Structure formats: C-alpha cells, structure tokens
Chains A and B, each alone.
Chain A
Amino acid sequence: MDSWDPFVLARIQFAANITFHILFPTISISLGWALLFFKTRFVATGQAHWMQAYQFWVKIFALTFALGVVSGITMSFQFGTNWPGFMNTVGNVAGPLLAYEVLTAFFLEATMLGIMLFGRGRVSERVHTLATLLVALGTTASAFWILALNSWMHTPAGFEMIDGQAHVTSWMQVIFNPSFPYRLTHMLIASGLTVSFLLAGISAYRWLRHDRGADVLATLKAGVYAAALLIPVQIVVGDLHGLNTLEHQPAKLAAMEGIWQTQKGAPAVLFALPDEKTQTNRYELAIPKLASFYLTHDWNGEIKGIAAFGDLHPPVAPVFWAFRIMVGTGLLMLAVSWFNAWRIRKGRAMMPWMARVLVAMTFSGWVAVVSGWYVTEIGRQPWLVHGVLTAAQAASEVPAANIAITLTMYLLLYVALLLAYVRVVFYLARKPETAAQPLQPAGVRPRALQAREGAA
C-alpha cells in the first residue's frame, strides 16, 4: 500500500464526492423554481393539470433533495479531513462564507421542505406557496455562497497574507471577486438547462408510453421552451466567463484551447490528442487564427501557451477534453431545443424519434455540468487557491490505507445510488398512480379539523 500516494487518493476521493454531490443541487436549484411556477400557474388559472405536474415533479424534487443533503453532509466533513491546510491557511475567508451558507440556506430549505412536501392541507394554500418559494430561495442562496467561495479560490481578492494566513480586508471584494458574477450566472443557467432537459426528457418518455395528459404536454412544452430560451444566453455567458478566465487564469485557458507555445494568431483546435511529454498536439484538427480572434478580438492577438507557465499549469488532456464535451453537449442542446420549440410553435405533433432523442438527453445537463466543473477545477491545478496555496500544501496526513478503504466504500455507494436514482425517476414516470391523482392528498387532516376533534 505504500506505493499509493495519499495525496492522489485524497484528491480522487474528494473529486468523487463533489462530483456525486453537484448532480443533485444542479437539479434541485432550478426544479424548486419550476415547482413554484407550476404551483403559481395552478393558483392563477385553477387548471388541475398544473397541480398534477406539481405533484409529479415534487416527488422527484424530494428524492433529489435528499441525495443532495446527504452528500452535502459528507462534504462538510471532507473539507477538514482531506484538506486541513485549506482551513488553516484561508479559513478566515472560507469559514464565514460556509457559515453563512449553513445559516441562511441549509436550515431554510430543509425546514420549509417539510411544509412544502407534507404541509398541504395543514397550512393555507398561500403559506404552502410561500414555503415552496422559500425552498427555491434557499437552494439558490446556497449556490450563491458556495460559488462565492469557489470563485474566490480561482480569483482571490480582498485579503492580505499575514504569517501565512489570509486575512480579509474587504468582504465585498471577497464575495464579488472577479470571476464570481460569471461563474454564478453560468452555473445557475446550467442548472436551468439541466432541469429543462429533465422536464422535457421525462415528459417525452411519458408521451411515448401514451401517457399524454394535459400535465405531461405542459411540462414537455415548459422544458423545451425554457431550454430554447436559456441555451443562447448560456453560450454568451460561457464566452464571457472564458474571457474572464483568460484574464485571471491564462494557464487554464491555454489548456482548454490546447495551445502549448505562446503565439500570435493562435488556431482554434477542434480535435487533438494533447501530449504532455512532447508538449504538442497529435492528430490536430484546427482552424487557423480563430482562437486569437474570439479570445482577443484580433486575428493576430497573442495567446500565452502552456509552456510559458513552467510547472504551474494544469494537466492538459483532461481540461482540453472536458471542455470539448461541455461545448459539444451545449451545441446539441441548442439544436434539439430549437428544433422542438419551432415544431411546438408551429403546432406540429411530437414525432416518436424526436421524443426518443429527448429521452436520451434527459440527463444531458449532468454531462455538461460535470465536464464544465472538471474544466474549471482541474484547470485550477496545481493551485487550490490560485496563487496562494497549492493542493499538495493543503493535503492531510491520513494514511493511504484509510483513504483507500473509505474511497472504495464511497464509490460503491455512489454508483449504486446513482443507478437507483435514475431508475426510480423513470419508474415514477411509468407508475400508474402518478398519471392521475386526487388534488387533496388522502389521509391529511387539516389543523382546523384536528382542533375541532380536540375540543369534542
């Protein structure tokens, strides 16, 4: 076991946990708002199918939320167990941000979730809608704080180093650090797109199974339209985020583009096998000068190559490929959502083959989100906090064997839970009782009724 590097194991373990975790908040952030939309449509129009849509999707929300909570608890322990050097060095920055996330977001969403799920009939319709709103607000507030901290790790600002520890000089600069507005917007839209394709995919699946009630058609349309609206915005925001990265983390950008040597008129590499040893691309397919144009808005603009950063650059191949997977998924989303939006607007019926494409793309948002996070997080290496602390400096002294045992345990659990989650989501879409449900859930005794019984 001595041959296993505990540092590498700790990184794999943390990456596995955070990859598993991010899947669920990505859905619950936007699904919370989608539920609020369904609920308010129902209240406004009185149309039963909006409540049916709510009642179907709230089940998936509850399941997703539970997985997010439990994997999030794991995260709160692993900050300390895997990276003790992180809190020791930048704890004065990270601590308050994490504390505010717990205080303003976690309790709010977890408590209101109980009322949102089980409170109908016990509280008024208005309080129930309010609880739904507060859950959605809670999930979004949580994203705000954690992305503020994450962005600060990429583009730290508003602090000074005293005796090897970061001390805050301006909280505004810490929170609204240079990459934060871009990252937050990019991530929230990514969440919106993930949920759009989830709505469209599951609805298309139900449509294919001849479950074609008004609620299924409404969520199909909502998913397709939301995706069609969000994807062009996401492309623009993603581009702006990229320019921000060029300014603050040029090594990451060079890895994303696969540019080894500093050059003027850099090509846009479409395909290549980056080779770390020779610092070249094999089998490169590229469009000359295009990268310089879209990065510097000048056909002959200079782009710094990876070689210019010495040892302080990320591993190129994973960043390069993750970036292409993300962009590719985004382009596919653009094509599919626009085609479907156009057909729905024209009043044309869904085509079975297209419905199958949507089903296949049910979790396409996950692919884009995870590959996007790999671009930005692997792209930050070898730094943990850019320019302040490397990941190796923050590593713990836990024996490799302990990490290996627990890593195996986590991996088995996560794979099993992921499979179970996807299977159950599709199973819920097949379940006959989800097709038609009474508006008033059975077995719930309103408070007023209980009070009367108590008095009797």
Chain B
Amino acid sequence: MDLVPDLSQPAGWLPLVFVGVMALSMLAYVILDGYDLGVGVLLRHADDGAQKDTMIASIGPFWDANETWLVLGVGVLLVAFPVAHGVILGHLYLPVALMLVALTLRGVAFDFRVKAQASHKHLWDRAFQLGSMLAGWSQGYMLGALITGFQDGAWNMLFSALIGLCLLAAYRLLGAGWLIMKTEGRLQRKAVDWAWSSLWLTALGIATISIVTPLVSSRIFDKWFAFPNVVLLLPIPLVTLVLFVLIARSLRRLPKRLEQGNEYGVAVPFAGTIGIMLLAFYGLAYSLFPWLVIDRITLWQAASAPQALMVIFYGVVLVLPVIIAYTVFAYRVFWGKSTALVY
C-alpha cells in the first residue's frame, strides 16, 4: 500500500509506535473508566443509600487515575498527530463539550456527595449518575462519527447515537461485572441481574454495529469481506460469540453459588467483558488503519516532526512501565471486597 511509508526510517516507525500508544491508552481508558462509568450508570438501581455508598466505595480509589488515561490518549493525539487533533476535535466539538461537562459533573459529584450537607446528597448522586450516562453516551457518539468519517446527515447521526447506546450498555456490563467481584450479599446478587440485562443490550449493540458498519462504509466492507481477509478475520466474531456464551453461563450459575457462599468464578463476567472489548477494539483498529480521519488523513500525514516524537518516545519507554507498575500496585492495595470509604 503506498499509503504506508518506509518503516525503517524514524518518520515511518515513530508515528506507528505513537498510534499504538494512543490506541493502548484509549483501550485502557475504555476498560478502566468504563467500569466506573458503568457503576455510575447503575447507581439509580440501588435499593438504598448504603448500597449506593458501597457501589461508589468500590471505585473510589481508582477513578482519578482511570480518567488520566483519557488525558494521555487525547494528549498523544494532540502532541503526536496535531493535524488530526484539530480536525477530529473540531468535528466533534459539541459531543466533546457534552462529554467534558458530564465528566466534570460526575467527577466532582463523587466528592461533593459525601462532603456537602446530607440533604444535598441525593442531588449529587443524581448528578453522578447523569454525568456517567452522558459521558458514556457521548463517547460512543464520537466513536460513531469517527467510523463514518464525520459525514453529516440524519442517518449518520442516528448511527452515532446508536453506537452511543451500545457503548453505554457495554460500560453497564463492565460496571456490573466489577460489582460482582467487589461487593457482597444482596448488592452482589443484584449486580448479577444487572449484568444479565446489560449482556443482552451489549450483544444486540455489537451485532448491530457489525452489520451496520460495513453498510455505512463500503471501504470497511471491502476490507473485511475480501478473500483471504475474511478467513483470517473470522476468529474475531467467533471468539466474541464464545465469550458471550461464557459470560451468560457464568451469570446463570452465579446466583446459586453465591447463595452457598461460594465465590468461585465471580471474576468471569468482568474478565469476559474485557475480552469482548479487546476484540471489538481490534476489529475497529483493523477497520480504520491507517487512517486517523477516514479517507482524508493517514497517521503519517498527521504526525509531528520525528525529532519531537523521538523526545517523547524516550519518555514513554522510560515512564510508561513505571506507570503500569504503580497502577498494578494500587489495584493490589485495594484488592478484594471493597470497604467503606472513610478518610
């Protein structure tokens, strides 16, 4: 493909590395902030204040760092692909603003709900839930717009709005899976039910996207259904299907086990959902590559000067492993069932 330059040169491989770093950050963001957004979306189904407190306690130590992956992802887009940053965020101006307001509302509600007057708590809870929903939906909307190459028109907007709902369902599934691992008793049982309803929505969403996307973009259609690609790509939908079945089986068995105090397999729904998201992400990356803006800007066209990228490259190589190490440490510190947040 003449779209791809000589990869032995820094101007060739550096942008590729940075697209990898960006993809990794976005993936980390979608999974990590995904579960805490999902918990926010589920908040209104809680029975009482105590359950809400437990739900929020389960994500308390993590959400700040989870959102930082978004800053890194957008940061890499900004510093490594400045041209694309301007074009993409210019097109996504309104959904981005909506997401930012939603994330702000939700991030501060987290702290305000326990610090403000008790009579205001339910208002902050509502802000937390509304913020989580709007943030998740607008992220999905942006993804939809990216897939269609920012074309205007009612159908494209409808498609994007639909992807917004799908992503919301996936976040909800992640959130429910997280709660099954991190909580106990009645809340844990409820989380199994929430996971069930989210599972169906997510499956419906992924099926719809898989069918509609090739119809919306003939380019993506050609990429997937030409021989031999179609054979090589077949494992993606097949493994996704297997994972859905695994999660469903686990959710069916969990209630009985939990009743007997048996925690075996509580991590299956969460881990399975991560697997599905990895595959969906891989499929998406395959569909878009090497474009940052479909049919307009490739990742090499948008890249910064190799010298500047090299400076950041050293930083990434040195620091990213350290970040991953202390992130793992933080998750280990708060391993196990979550406890009340008092400080």
Task: Give the B-binding residues of A (Cβ under 8 A).
Answer: 55, 58-59, 62-63, 65-67, 69-74, 76-77, 79-81, 84, 87-88, 91-96, 98-100, 102-104, 106-108, 110-115, 117-120, 122-123, 165, 167-168, 171, 396-398, 402, 405-406, 409-410, 413, 417, 420, 423-424, 427-428, 441-445, 447, 450
Contacts and interface: CB of A to CB of B under 8 A. Distances in A.
Nearest to B319: A103
Interface stretch (B102-110, B208-216, B234-242, B250-258): B102-110
15 contacts: A63-B111, A66-B107, A70-B107, A73-B67, A76-B78, A77-B96, A79-B78, A87-B79, A96-B315, A100-B315, A102-B75, A107-B65, A114-B60, A123-B333, A417-B104
A77 B304 CA distance: 18
B16 interface: no
Closest 8 CB pairs of A and B: A95-B79, A114-B61, A84-B86, A443-B340, A87-B82, A92-B308, A70-B107, A441-B342
Given A108-B326, A423-B116, A428-B115, 6 more contacts: A73-B70, A80-B89, A81-B90, A95-B78, A102-B68, A168-B308
A165 B320 CA distance: 29
A65 B116 CA distance: 16
Given A80-B85, A417-B104, A444-B339, A96 B115 contact: no
B330 interface: yes
Q: Is the interface of B mostly helix, strand, loop or mixed?
A: helix
Judged by DSSP, the binding face of A is helix
A209 B304 CA distance: 58
Interface residues of B, number: 62
A107 B328 CA distance: 12
A103 B316 contact: yes
B256 to A, nearest CB: 22
Contacts of A98: 75, 78-79
B230 interface: no
A442 B342 CA distance: 7
A173 B342 CA distance: 46
Nearest to A89: B82
Given A76-B74, A114-B61, A427 B117 contact: yes
A171 to B, nearest CB: 7
A88 B341 CA distance: 45
Contact of A168 (B68, B116, B307): B307
A87 B307 contact: no
Contacts of B83: 88
Contact of B334 (A81, A114, A406): A114
Contacts, number: 220
Given A84-B90, A103-B315, A119-B333, A420 B112 contact: yes
B4 interface: no
A441 B343 contact: yes
Contacts of A70: 67, 103-104, 107-108
A66 B127 CA distance: 15
B50 to A, nearest CB: 12
B341 A118 contact: yes
A130 to B, nearest CB: 11
A123 B312 CA distance: 34
B308 A95 contact: yes
B315 A99 contact: yes
Interface of B: 60-62, 64-65, 67-68, 70-72, 74-80, 82-83, 85-86, 89-90, 93-94, 96-97, 100-101, 103-105, 107-108, 110-112, 115-117, 304-305, 307-308, 311-312, 315-316, 319-320, 323, 326-327, 330, 333-334, 336, 339-343
Contacts of B64: 65-66, 69, 110-111, 113-114
A428 B107 CA distance: 19
Contacts of A167: 305, 307-308
A311 B107 CA distance: 43
Given A65-B64, A420-B116, A402 B105 contact: no
A100 B82 CA distance: 16
B82 to A, nearest CB: 4
Contact of A66 (B94, B111, B308): B111
A117 B115 contact: no
A318 B100 CA distance: 30
A171 B314 CA distance: 14
Contacts of B326: 107-108, 111-112
Nearest to A409: B101
Contacts of B333: 114-115, 119, 122-123, 447
A122 B105 CA distance: 30
B86 to A, nearest CB: 3
Contacts of B78: 76, 79-80, 87, 95, 98
A235 B105 CA distance: 38
Contacts of A122: 333-334
A20 to B, nearest CB: 10
A173 B115 CA distance: 45
Contacts of B93: 81, 398, 402, 406
Given A168-B307, A406-B93, A94 B79 contact: yes
Nearest to B110: A66
B136 to A, nearest CB: 15
A94 B311 CA distance: 12
